[in-house]
Structure 1
Amino acid sequence: MPLISSTYKPKGVFKNGHFATIYSAKLRPIPKLKQQRERLKLDDGDFLDIDFSFSKKKTQKIAIILHGLEGNAQRRYIKGQALQLTKTGWDVAAVNFRGCSGEPNNLFASYNAGKTEDLDSVVKFLQDKNKYTTISLLGFSLGGNLMLKYLGEQKIISKEIKKAVAISTPLNLKGTLESLSNFDNWIYRTSFLHNLRKKLNIKAKQFPDKMSAAAVKQVKSLLDFDNVYTAPAHGFKDAYDYYKQNSSKQFLPNITIPVLILNAKNDSFLTADSYPYKIAQNSKNIYLETPEYGGHVGFHQTNKIYYSEKRAANFLNEIH
């Protein structure tokens, strides 16, 4: 308790983790969702762009959604989840991390898997609107790690935050880096690295005193990227220090609200640490569901609605 027996059973080729992952990210028809962008100016001179979508009925509930590495609030999985939540009585604030909204952010530092102060800024921004009595959090992949760290590192979380859901979430960042280095994950790491290097080139032009073209050329792997940019830009000694300090598994025992972790067993991004069975068994708040299938954010049910989207909405609407 609370280990959850999953009912998710996809059909045919969707049992293949790689097919489910790639189809869901690149081939699924884009869910039709109206979004309204609002810019949150941060105290350090930077900004976050938040894409809102709204329930047809007036509501005092809002869900904050956090995307994964090199994602944004227009990704299929974000729009699909937001659409299901708005249909079940929630407003949605889908956050674009710094530098992920289609415009470079203002500072040399950007986002990472543990930058929880930005999530806290979004929570306070919504509280200042004084419209919502219930806030839920929902994070995918890197965003799920950030969200779990936020919930576990806070001595006291805001009373409006009631529940959270983490989907396809690495709880050990070093383990996931090593998994992405495996041969069968070449397509994902190649895509991530291509996008990250493009952003690093922009940073080098913005801040030539902090990042040289020669340094960018040294980045030939995800580990290189974190050593050359992520760690020094965000105050860590090196990549491994960054992974150690920000991996969310260590924060799970401190979480005080109901949280669902939905991680597929055939998710090629994840290692054993991302299936915290013992922690869930000894917790009143960590609900762990580990279906056999689903890949990485690939819980296909139909093109219109994914199992993860329905499961997350149901969890947030249940009374615990």
Structure 2
Amino acid sequence: MKTLFTPPWWAASPHVQTILPFLFKVAKPITFRQRQELPDGDFVDLDWLGQAQNGQPILVIIHGLEGNTESHYVRRMLIEAKKAKLAAVVHHHRGCSGEPNRLARSYHSGDVNDLAYTLGQLKHYYPDSPLYAVGYSLGGNVLAKYQGSTQQHSLLERAVVVSAPLTLGACAKRLESGFSTLYQRFLIKRLQQKMLDKINTTDLTEQMPITKEQLKMLNTFYLFDDKVTAPLHGFTDVNDYYQQASGLGYLQYITKPTLVIHAQDDPFMTAEVIPTQDQLSPMVEYELHEFGGHVGFIAGGWPWKPHFYLEQRIIAFIFSEENTLTEPDGSSSSLSH
């Protein structure tokens, strides 16, 4: 299925595409929470849309940096999943469900283990249910890495990766200039507050790699990842983290149908996230759109009542009978490249 995305005239700006969906109110679907205990003593929370039945297809939704079930794209996806008669569950990263996680460590862009554990639990309790997943931004990078690192052992029938920072170092640098610094500032403040709460937690204070005073100085993703993310999660430094966690190099190893969607005007990205044909597995369908911003893709309507491209495209891909679009030479097809 090849569907061109074209924004309305009033939403051609990447910042309108990125910011308006965040401001637009989406009705909150009714969900119920399941706490999942992890092998290391920590937990993640799963928010379920309805009660899944064994044999019913399950869509796993993986949010972006500091996102959760309240995120606009998650809410819209839950609504569309219900219409499509899919069971849906939001996999929260550690500490993102409204309650601090127990350990000093948190989550990061290449953390596939928690996702793999969730998928394993789902397959255990719903053995006859096909599993699908969609990951947004940071969650999309996690999903891409999971698909590539597990290869034929992936528990997913199909996956969709949206607006993923597949080259983390380049994306971190991109957010240090121009209007994009506003997005960085907004997210860094949330990360700093979460880390401050842990520094102030008696049982965790000594495990923190920085002090309160040092934390205040970490005003870029590069600095935060170097002084917090990398040491907390066992990486040598920020460059080691970015190299190991970036999803781009995993795309060529994917063996299950996977759709990757990017916008060229995404203010979180650079051209370095765009894979070459040689970097794509035949099982990866790649869509590169001229417009769309970051997890935006407003397709029409008006500012007070927009409608979106992503949800319909994701549902269409999940239910598609074709494993991938292929060129005559057997390589994967992209909408535009």
TM-score (norm 2): 0.88
1:242 matched to which residue of 2?
A: 241
2:261 matched to which residue of 1?
A: 262
Matched residues in 1 for 2:32 and 2:49: separation? 6
Structure 2 unaligned spans of 5+:
323-337
1:10 matched to which residue of 2?
A: 7
Q: Which of 159, 167, 174 lines up with 1:179 in the alignment?
A: 174
| Bigger mean CA deviation after superposition, 304-313 or 115-124 | 304-313
* Residues 86 and 132 of structure 1, relative CA distance in 2, 3 Å threshold: farther
1:296 matched to which residue of 2?
A: 294
1:168 matched to which residue of 2?
A: 163
Q: Which of 38, 43, 67 lines up with 2:39 in the alignment?
A: 43
| Equivalent pairs, count | 314
* Residues 203 and 83 of structure 1, relative CA distance in 2, 3 Å threshold: same
* Residues 218 and 210 of structure 1, relative CA distance in 2, 3 Å threshold: farther
Matched residues in 2 for 1:48 and 1:188: separation? 26
Question: Sequence identity of aligned pairs in percent?
Answer: 32
Q: SS of the counterpart of 2:101?
A: coil
Mapped contact 1:6–1:290 kept (Cα < 8 A): no
Alignment of 1:109 with 2:105, yes or no, is yes
- The ranges of structure 1 where at least 4 consecutive aligned residues each deviate by more than 4 angstroms after the TM superposition are 55-59, 302-305
Structure 1 unaligned spans of 5+:
none
Mapped contact 2:167–2:246 kept (Cα < 8 A): yes
Alignment of 1:165-314 (within 5 A): 165-206=160-201, 207-211=204-208, 212-279=211-278, 283-301=281-299, 302=301, 303=305, 305-314=307-316
Alpha-carbon distance, 1:271 to partner: 1.5
Mapped contact 2:185–2:219 kept (Cα < 8 A): no
Mapped contact 1:21–1:295 kept (Cα < 8 A): yes
Q: SS of the counterpart of 2:21?
A: helix
Mapped contact 1:60–1:131 kept (Cα < 8 A): no
Matched residues in 2 for 1:163 and 1:85: separation? 15
Q: SS of the counterpart of 1:113?
A: coil
Alpha-carbon distance, 1:229 to partner: 0.8
Mapped contact 1:215–1:228 kept (Cα < 8 A): no
Alpha-carbon distance, 1:235 to partner: 0.2
* Residues 164 and 144 of structure 1, relative CA distance in 2, 3 Å threshold: same
Please provide the CA RMSD for this pair.
Answer: 1.9
Mapped contact 2:54–2:127 kept (Cα < 8 A): no
Alignment of 1:75 with 2:71, yes or no, is yes
Provide, for residues 115-135 of structure 1, a one-character-per-residue CA deviation record: whole Å limited to 9, x for no partner.
100001100111121254200
Provide, for residues 149-184 of structure 1, a one-character-per-residue CA deviation record: whole Å limited to 9, x for no partner.
0111115424x5210000111110001101111122
TM-score (norm 1): 0.93
Mapped contact 2:231–2:237 kept (Cα < 8 A): yes
Letter in 2 for 1:14: A
Mapped contact 2:263–2:292 kept (Cα < 8 A): yes
Q: SS of the counterpart of 2:16?
A: helix
Matched residues in 1 for 2:139 and 2:278: separation? 20
Alpha-carbon distance, 1:305 to partner: 4.4
Alpha-carbon distance, 1:9 to partner: 1.0
| Bigger mean CA deviation after superposition, 81-90 or 99-108 | 81-90
Alpha-carbon distance, 1:304 to partner: 6.7
1:97 matched to which residue of 2?
A: 93
Matched residues in 1 for 2:306 and 2:262: separation? 21
Mapped contact 1:126–1:132 kept (Cα < 8 A): no
Q: SS of the counterpart of 1:69?
A: coil
Alpha-carbon distance, 1:314 to partner: 0.4
Mapped contact 2:110–2:245 kept (Cα < 8 A): yes
Mapped contact 1:136–1:163 kept (Cα < 8 A): yes
Letter in 2 for 1:293: F
